[in-house]
């Protein structure tokens, strides 16, 4: 043992011996020499404690340095550092296209428009990002941009996307945004594949022969939507339009197959615009989506929204809120899928339209989706489904009379009102759950009955009723 440690141990032993003395006993007092010795020992121990504390601090600092060095070395030798650039590119594309963050601008959500952040991490990642052309194909032009003042920047940015098709977004209609849009068009319009416009007034004519999708949101509240500057875009197949405008002027696009229309109030003007647009592409239209973003209740009970129009190629229709009235004006002999969303409980026109839609070829419908569709009674729902004998798939999200509906599906034995749907093989059921509430317990019980009744093919009254091959639900059999 080193001499200094031996001395410290000896002093500590003396201190322990002295501390063990009972100085409180009557007549026992330390002599002056003992007092001096005790004071010296206390001072020495205090100095030792200070030295030990300093040593502990030094060791903590050393440990923290080692931890930081280890973390730094881990980041250097991390497996992600050894990934080939091809795999890094795939990861970047997945993040960019699937979960790229959104930012709030003027009360609206937009994709972030600055170059991908991957290029700012390190030199290796920057090389991988710049070597991935698909990361640079989404181009956004916002208000008050100055990109048109430096054409070299635009040229270099476009060069990063190689010769891939471009998705262009114009978010504003001010002078600078239009100037940047014009510059971008002069440099790359032959490569445009998709064009999204929040404003489309006073735009110069474009030559975009490869344009296949046009989306107009009218976020800038223009009076009209005039797309005649896209006359040269003869391959447009996907069209989205906002209908809360004064007038809509479209080029004669001959091959539109997918159409999405967005209403705000579902009033006569918007229905007139919808009929006009649908008529313009009636021979080629395959998928029709009509959304209603308005909240004001509008009386649609006596609505006949225009003359009936035949859509021979239509296979899918998706109607939201008050737009279900359009089913009375559409002749669709080859319809395969119907989706009805948010039919208001106080307006039963939706039920009658679904149950008595003589213009639609309901016999051919294979898929029915009902989202928050409030039938007044089970009888109304069954009347509607009776006209869809060839249904193969039903998607249900929050409809009233849900428990009775499940039991009707399970009743294959010919009860008072069975609902056989013999070709039904796929069922998706999603309801709002309230744990412990009687209705939820009943709903789970009805689900159990349904699963038992349709677990396999069976013959009922000479009719083959197929068993469910796919059942998706947020309910559980357990309470």
- Quick: pLDDT tens for 292-323: 877 654 544 445 556 788 899 999 999 888 78
Q: What average pLDDT does this structure show over 129-137?
A: 84
Give yes or no for residue 12 having a pLDDT over 50.
Answer: yes
Q: Is the pLDDT of residue 107 over 50?
A: no
Pairing mode, strands 102-105 and 108-111 = antiparallel
Which of 320-324, 344-348, 361-365, 417-421: highest mean pLDDT? Answer: 320-324
Distance CA 6, CA 48 (A): 14
The ranges assigned to domains in the chain are 3-19+38-77
% of the chain surpassing 90 pLDDT: 13
Give the tens place of pLDDT for each residue, 145-193.
777 777 888 888 888 888 899 988 888 777 888 888 888 889 889 999 9
Q: Is residue 125 predicted with pLDDT exceeding 60?
A: yes
Query: Mean pLDDT across the chain, nearest whole number?
Result: 77
| Of residues 156 and 26, more confidently modeled | 156
Note the pLDDT of residue 475: 67
Question: Does position 443 have pLDDT exceeding 80, yes or no?
Answer: no
Residue 346 has pLDDT above 70, yes or no: no
Give the pLDDT confidence score for residue 20 in this predicted structure.
53
99 has pLDDT over 70: no
User: What average pLDDT score do residues 376-382 get?
Assistant: 71
Question: What local confidence, expressed as pLDDT, does residue 302 receive?
Answer: 46
Tell me: pLDDT of 428 over 70: yes
pLDDT score of 79 more than 60: yes
pLDDT in tens, 201-248: 778 888 889 999 999 886 655 577 888 888 788 899 999 998 887 788
Averaged over 136-149, what is the pLDDT?
Answer: 79
Is the CB of residue 368 less than 8 Å from the CB of residue 389?
A: no
Contacts of 341 (CB under 8 A, 6+ apart): 318, 319, 320, 321, 369, 371, 372, 373
Please give the Cα distance from 360 to 335 (Å, whole number).
7
For residues 378 and 362, give the distance between their C-alpha atoms in angstroms, rounded to a whole number: 20
Residue 479 has pLDDT above 60, yes or no: no
- As a whole-number percent, the residues of the chain with pLDDT over 70 amount to 73
């Amino acid at each position: 043992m080193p001499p200094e440690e031996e001395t410290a141990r000896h002093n500590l032993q003396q201190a322990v011996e002295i501390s063990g003395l009972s100085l409180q006993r009557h007549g026992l007092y330390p002599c002056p020499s003992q007092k001096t010795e005790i004071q010296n020992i206390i001072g020495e121990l205090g100095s030792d404690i200070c030295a030990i504390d300093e040593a502990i601090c030094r060791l903590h600092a050393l440990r923290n340095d080692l931890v930081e060095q280890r973390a730094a070395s881990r980041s250097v030798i991390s497996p992600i550092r050894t990934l080939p650039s091809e795999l890094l590119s795939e990861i970047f594309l997945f993040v960019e296209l699937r979960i790229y963050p959104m930012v709030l601008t003027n009360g609206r959500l937009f994709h972030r428009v600055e170059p991908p952040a991957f290029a700012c991490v390190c030199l290796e990642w920057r090389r991988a990002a710049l070597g991935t052309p698909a990361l640079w194909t989404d181009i956004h032009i916002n208000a008050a941009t100055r990109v048109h003042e430096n054409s070299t920047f635009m040229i270099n940015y476009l060069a990063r996307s190689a010769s891939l098709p471009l998705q262009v977004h114009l978010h504003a209609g001010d002078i600078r945004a239009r100037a940047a849009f014009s510059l971008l068009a002069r440099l790359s319009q032959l490569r445009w594949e998709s064009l999204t416009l929040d404003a489309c007034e006073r735009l110069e004519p474009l030559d975009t022969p490869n344009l296949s999708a046009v989306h107009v949101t009218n976020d800038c509240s223009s009076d009209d939507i005039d797309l005649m500057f896209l006359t040269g875009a003869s391959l447009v197949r996907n069209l989205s339009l906002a209908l809360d405008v004064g007038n809509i002027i479209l080029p004669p696009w001959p091959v539109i197959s997918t159409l999405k229309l967005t209403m705000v109030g579902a009033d006569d003007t918007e229905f007139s615009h919808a009929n006009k647009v649908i008529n313009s592409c009636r021979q080629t239209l395959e998928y029709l989506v009509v959304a209603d973003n308005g909240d004001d209740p509008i009386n649609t009970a006596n609505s006949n929204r225009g003359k009936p129009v035949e859509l021979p190629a239509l296979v899918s229709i998706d109607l939201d809120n008050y737009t279900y009235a359009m089913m009375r004006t559409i002749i669709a002999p080859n319809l395969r899928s119907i989706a009805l969303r948010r039919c208001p409980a106080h307006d039963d026109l939706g039920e009658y339209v679904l149950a008595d839609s003589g213009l639609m070829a309901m016999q051919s419908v294979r898929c029915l989706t009902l989202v928050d569709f409030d039938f007044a009674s089970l009888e109304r729902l069954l009347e509607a489904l009776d006209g869809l004998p060839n249904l193969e798939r039903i998607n249900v999200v929050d409809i009233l009379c849900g428990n009775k509906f499940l039991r009707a599906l399970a009743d294959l034995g010919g009860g008072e009102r069975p609902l056989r749907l013999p070709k039904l093989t796929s069922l998706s059921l999603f309801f709002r759950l309230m744990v412990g509430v009687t209705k939820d317990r009943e709903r789970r019980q009805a689900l159990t009955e349904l699963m038992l009744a349709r677990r396999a093919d069976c013959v009922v009254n000479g009719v083959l009723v197929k068993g469910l091959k796919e059942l998706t639900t947020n309910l559980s059999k357990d309470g």
